[in-house]
């Protein structure tokens, strides 16, 4: 096996695989190093995980030639309905309704299941001869000098490239080894995630309820199925997690009423403690971070994967432009352009989701009144509503070429 | 090579010598040049690709082209040109820049011929190039017409010269001298003398008198919101760039 590549990507999950495919489009050879076995990445059984892929993320998949394999199993999100509710009175009369027909670009996004997305990416990686994929391998050290970056793995081998990219998640070892500090905080919330089957069709509508313990999202999947992302206080979440499936459903049912008919579980239940985690910088010499390795946001708006894909599209743009100009694409000058492009967006997203979460996860009557009036105002204003829809579809900010 | 019998203004050379070691620090004294560089490179690469019918998406698109960069400094333009496949000669009248540029090219694994000297001396020696890069130099020389004529002599028939400079008007005084040197401290005070700035009409005059044909011009415009430079078709009010070709028959 070769030991010299253009780029080394640490982490072979959704972000790492997409990034390698993007770089291959630019003619760059990459080595992807992943700690998991490839069969774990390719496991096609449904575990209930799914992603709300924004329109821009869908466009990236199209640009990379991957969307055709995903489209049949993806559920377009045609409407988003947002309610402010409490557990006794149900949804308040004020709500917001975002309809994709209000923007010309079409559906705001698509719900894509993890069991479909992962194999599509990994099959494409396997078919791409510019990508070398090392599974069940961990990086033990990395070093960077004027010209080259190198990593040494637990297989005893050392690999070299012009650039290392960390796509290794919130607890990125790549960032740690580079001495990049993180900042962040935990929320007093745990997300419970599962998929349900329901008797009545969802008509492509996503529902978001702001309940005092935290938001509850019902996101449409193919068929009469939906993905549930439900936030509770950690103590409550622990109690709910320990319940049997039947008891779990008994607690879930009253939370969003009966409009989908009776519901059943369709897959495993997961839980994630919620928190924000951001690095002080996304770059250092011959090193860049993408996705959660750089910024993990509260998953309140389903924006984690979307933000990561946007990092990837932006980084590929910056690298491509630099190569066309003859610049050293791994120089700090070039990487700074990536950081400046993405950091502002990601920090705004982190703060906005934090703000929304704090505003809505609260039973304070003053805040309740304020937000019900606010939702009424937003719902009454077509301009503001279109603004929210475009934000949800990922259409705000400067778009990378593959997302236009 | 002699640097003495030329149009170089000795006090200008001394100013840049004092700054030479800082060339490659993106946040150092040459930060403004690093900020402008992507925009300059976009223009240069596009013009060369158009003139010589090269595909910028390909590997080493400038293979076979002999490119001269006048006032090469630390090699901010030479290195990209070499990476794109060109045979590059960088010349600078500040002797101290040469070892700085050579050292950096070696670090980057690039072969670039850096020489202490001037455009005029190279022209006298009969050297010729497919492309002459004449970027932010003409406003620093003592005799702009003699200098531009030397650039013309350095081109092969059909060759391309890219020349950028700074316009002379109230806005350029405010931006390039008050703004860049005094307010932002991007450049050391005294880097530029406003009276030496050149209007687009004057530059076209210099180019045409030298026997070259201007083919294109664009503005470099700084956007204070995005903090980036962009090319502009219309706004040549401060920094601007031109492309001109040497006729096949001279």
Least CB–CB distance from A328: residue in B38, B62, B108: B108
Per-residue pLDDT band for A280 (boundaries 50, 70, 90) equals confident
Share of chain B above pLDDT 70, in %: 90
Share of chain A above pLDDT 70, in %: 77
Q: In the predicted model, is pLDDT for residue B23 greater than 70?
A: yes
User: Using beta carbons and an 8 Å cutoff, which residues of A are at the interface with B?
Assistant: 27, 146-147, 321-322, 324-328, 331-333, 336-337, 340
Between A284 and A86, name the one with better pLDDT.
A284
Tens digits of residue pLDDT in B71-80: 999 999 999 9
Least CB–CB distance from A333: residue in B26, B107, B227: B26
Q: Are A189 and A274 in contact (CB under 8 A)?
A: yes
Per-residue pLDDT, A371: 55
Residues of chain A with C-beta less than 8 angstroms from the C-beta of B83: 326-328
Per-residue pLDDT, B20: 46
Arithmetic mean of pLDDT, B145-151: 96
Question: CB contacts < 8 Å between A and B, how many?
Answer: 40
Q: How far apart are CA A3 and CA A151, in angstroms?
A: 10
- Angle, vertex CA B27, rays to CA B22 and CA B30, nearest 5: 45
Range of weakest confidence among A42-51, A57-66, B51-60, B144-153: A42-51
CA distance A55 to chain B (A): 25
Residues of chain A with C-beta less than 8 angstroms from the C-beta of B109: 147
Arithmetic mean of pLDDT, A15-33: 97
Show the DSSP H helices in chain B as ranges.
10-19, 31-52, 78-83, 97-107, 119-124, 144-153, 170-172, 200-209
Least CB–CB distance from A325: residue in B26, B45, B227: B45
Report domain extents, chain A.
7-69+112-183+275-360+398-403, 72-111+187-274
Least CB–CB distance from B80: residue in A147, A326, A336: A326
For B72, the domain range is 10-245
Give the best-scoring range by mean pLDDT among A305-309, A343-347, B43-47.
B43-47
At A40, list the tokens.
């774990």
Q: How far apart are CA A154 and CA A138, in angstroms?
A: 6
Residues of chain B with C-beta less than 8 angstroms from the C-beta of A321: 38
Per-residue pLDDT band for A301 (boundaries 50, 70, 90) equals very low
Between B50 and B184, name the one with better pLDDT.
B50
CA distance B132 to chain A (A): 17
B135 Cβ partners below 8 Å, 6+ apart?
B40, B44, B69, B70, B71, B77, B162, B163, B164, B241
Per-residue pLDDT, B71: 93
Instruction: Mark B81-94 as b/e (b = at least 16 C-beta within 10 Å).
Output: bbbbbbbbbbbbbb
Least CB–CB distance from B108: residue in A147, A322, A337: A147
Q: How far apart are CA A322 and CA A325, in angstroms?
A: 5
Per-residue pLDDT, A68: 96
Least CB–CB distance from B107: residue in A146, A321, A337: A146
Q: What is the pTM of this model?
A: 0.85
A85 Cβ partners below 8 Å, 6+ apart?
A91, A92, A209, A210, A211
Fold designation for A7-69+112-183+275-360+398-403: FAD/NAD(P)-binding domain (3.50.50)
> Which candidate in B26, B112, B135 is best for mutational testing of the A interface (most A CBs within 10 A)?
B26
Tens digits of residue pLDDT in B96-146: 888 888 888 888 889 999 999 999 999 999 999 999 999 999 988 989 999
Q: In the predicted model, is pLDDT for residue A154 greater than 70?
A: yes
CA nearest B31 in A: which residue? Answer: A333
> Which candidate in A6, A325, A331 is best for mutational testing of the B interface (most B CBs within 10 A)?
A325
Arithmetic mean of pLDDT, B163-181: 80
CA distance B84 to chain A (A): 5
Give the best-scoring range by mean pLDDT among A343-352, A365-374, B163-172.
B163-172
Tens digits of residue pLDDT in A202-243: 999 888 787 777 778 888 999 999 988 888 888 988 998 899
Q: In the predicted model, is pLDDT for residue B187 greater than 90?
A: no
Q: Are B33 and B24 in contact (CB under 8 A)?
A: no
Q: Are A388 and A342 in contact (CB under 8 A)?
A: no
Per-residue pLDDT band for B4 (boundaries 50, 70, 90) equals very low
Q: Kindly list the distances between the CA atom of residue B84 and the CA atoms of A58, B183, B189, in Å, as whole numbers in the listed order.
A: 33, 37, 35
Question: How are beta strands B129-135 and B239-245 bridged, if at all?
Answer: unpaired
Is there a domain that residue B180 lies in?
yes
Residues of chain B with C-beta less than 8 angstroms from the C-beta of A332: 26
Per-residue pLDDT, B106: 85
Per-residue pLDDT, A89: 52
CA nearest B58 in A: which residue? Answer: A324
Give the best-scoring range by mean pLDDT among A124-133, B195-204, B221-230.
A124-133
Q: Which of B201, B184, B222, B192 is nearest to B40 (CA)?
A: B222
Widest Cα–Cα separation across chain A: 64
How many structural domains comprise chain B? 1
Range of weakest confidence among A82-96, B109-123, B209-223: A82-96
Between A231 and A151, name the one with better pLDDT.
A151
Q: How high is the mean pLDDT of chain B?
A: 87
Q: In the predicted model, is pLDDT for residue B14 greater than 90?
A: no
Q: Kindly list the distances between the CA atom of residue A378 and the CA atoms of A82, A83, B76, B239, in Å, as whole numbers in the listed order.
A: 11, 12, 51, 45
At B181, list the tokens.
């040197």
Which CATH number belongs to the domain containing residue B159 in this structure?
3.40.50.150
> Which position has the token pair 């045409």?
B208
Is there a domain that residue B4 lies in?
no
Is there a domain that residue B2 lies in?
no
CA nearest B33 in A: which residue? Answer: A333
Per-residue pLDDT band for A155 (boundaries 50, 70, 90) equals very high
Per-residue pLDDT, B15: 53
Per-residue pLDDT, B3: 42
**A72-111+187-274, superfamily in CATH?**
D-Amino Acid Oxidase, subunit A, domain 2 (3.30.9.10)
Instruction: Mark B136-171 as b/e (b = at least 16 C-beta within 10 Å).
Output: bbbbbbeebeebbbbbbbbbeeebbbbbbbbbbeee
Q: Kindly list the distances between the CA atom of residue A79 and the CA atoms of A171, A207, A256, B86, in Å, as whole numbers in the listed order.
A: 35, 8, 17, 54
Do residue A324 and residue B56 have CB atoms under 8 angstroms apart?
yes
Do residue A332 and residue B34 have CB atoms under 8 angstroms apart?
no
Q: How far apart are CA B219 and CA B205, in angstroms?
A: 18
Between A358 and A245, name the one with better pLDDT.
A245
> Which candidate in B37, B41, B82, B103 is best for mutational testing of the A interface (most A CBs within 10 A)?
B41
Q: What strands, in cross-sheet order, belong to the sheet with B113-116?
A: B113-116, B87-92, B66-70, B129-135, B155-166, B239-245, B213-223, B228-232
Tens digits of residue pLDDT in B74-107: 999 999 999 999 999 999 998 888 888 888 888 8
Query: What 3-state class would DSSP assign to A174?
Result: helix
Query: What 3-state class would DSSP assign to B38?
Result: helix
Is there a domain that residue B3 lies in?
no
């Amino acid at each position: 096996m070769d030991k010299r590549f253009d780029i080394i990507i640490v982490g072979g999950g959704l972000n790492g695989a997409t990034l390698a495919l993007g770089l291959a489009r630019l003619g760059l050879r990459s080595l992807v190093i992943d700690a998991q076995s490839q069969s774990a990445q390719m496991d096609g059984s449904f575990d209930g995980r799914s992603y709300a892929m924004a329109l821009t993320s869908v466009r990236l998949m199209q640009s990379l030639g991957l969307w055709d394999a995903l489209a049949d199993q993806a559920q377009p999100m045609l409407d988003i309905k947002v309610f402010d509710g409490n557990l006794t009175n149900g949804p308040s009369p004020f709500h917001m309704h975002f309809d994709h027909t209000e923007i010309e670009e079409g559906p705001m996004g698509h719900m894509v299941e993890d069991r479909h997305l992962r194999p599509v990416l990994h099959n494409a990686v396997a078919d791409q001869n510019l990508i070398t994929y090392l599974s069940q391998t961990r990086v033990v050290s990395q070093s960077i000098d004027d010209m080259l970056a190198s990593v040494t793995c637990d297989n005893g081998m050392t690999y070299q490239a012009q650039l290392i990219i960390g796509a290794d998640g919130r607890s990125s070892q790549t960032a740690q080894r580079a001495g990049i500090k993180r900042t962040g905080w935990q929320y007093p919330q745990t997300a419970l995630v599962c998929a349900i089957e329901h008797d009545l069709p969802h008509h492509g509508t996503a529902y978001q309820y702001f309940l005092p313990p935290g938001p509850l999202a019902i996101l449409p999947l193919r068929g009469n199925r939906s993905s549930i992302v439900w936030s509770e206080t950690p103590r409550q979440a622990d109690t709910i997690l320990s319940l049997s499936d039947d008891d779990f459903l008994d607690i879930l049912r009253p939370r969003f009423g009966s409009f989908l008919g009776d519901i059943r579980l369709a897959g495993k239940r997961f839980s994630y403690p919620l928190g924000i985690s951001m690095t002080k910088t996304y770059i250092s010499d011959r090193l860049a971070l993408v996705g959660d390795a750089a910024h993990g946001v509260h998953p309140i708006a389903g924006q984690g994967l979307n933000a990561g894909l946007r990092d990837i599209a932006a980084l590929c743009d910056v690298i491509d432009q630099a190569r066309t100009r003859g610049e050293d694409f791994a120089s700090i000058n070039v990487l700074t352009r990536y950081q400046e492009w993405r950091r502002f967006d990601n920090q705004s997203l982190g703060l906005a989701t934090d703000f929304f979460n704090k505003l809505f996860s609260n039973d304070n009557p003053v805040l309740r009144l304020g937000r019900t009036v606010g939702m009424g105002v937003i719902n009454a204003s077509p301009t503001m509503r279109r603004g929210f829809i475009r934000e949800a579809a990922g259409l705000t900010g400067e778009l990378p070429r593959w997302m236009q | 090579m002699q640097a003495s019998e030329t149009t170089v203004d000795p006090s200008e050379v001394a100013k840049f010598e004092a700054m030479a070691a800082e060339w490659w620090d993106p946040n150092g004294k040459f930060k403004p040049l690093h900020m402008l560089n992507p925009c300059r490179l976009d223009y240069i690469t596009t013009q060369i690709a158009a003139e010589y019918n090269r595909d910028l998406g390909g590997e080493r698109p400038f293979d076979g082209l002999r490119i001269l960069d006048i006032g090469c400094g630390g090699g901010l333009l030479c290195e990209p040109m070499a990476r794109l496949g060109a045979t590059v000669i960088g010349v600078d009248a500040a002797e101290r820049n040469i070892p700085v540029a050579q050292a950096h090219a070696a670090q980057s694994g690039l072969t670039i011929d850096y020489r202490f000297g001037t455009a005029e001396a190279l022209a006298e020696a009969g050297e010729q190039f497919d492309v002459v890069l004449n970027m932010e130099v003409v406003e620093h020389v003592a005799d702009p017409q003699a200098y531009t004529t030397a650039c013309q002599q350095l081109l092969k028939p059909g060759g391309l010269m890219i020349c950028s400079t700074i316009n002379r008007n109230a806005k350029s005084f405010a931006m390039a001298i008050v703004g860049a040197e005094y307010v932002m401290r991007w450049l050391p005070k005294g880097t530029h003398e406003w009276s030496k700035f050149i209007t687009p009409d004057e530059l076209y005059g210099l180019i045409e008198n030298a026997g070259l044909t201007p083919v294109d011009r664009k503005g470099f415009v700084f956007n204070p919101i995005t903090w980036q430079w962009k090319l502009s078709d219309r706004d040549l009010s401060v920094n601007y760039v031109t492309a001109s070709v040497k006729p096949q028959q001279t």
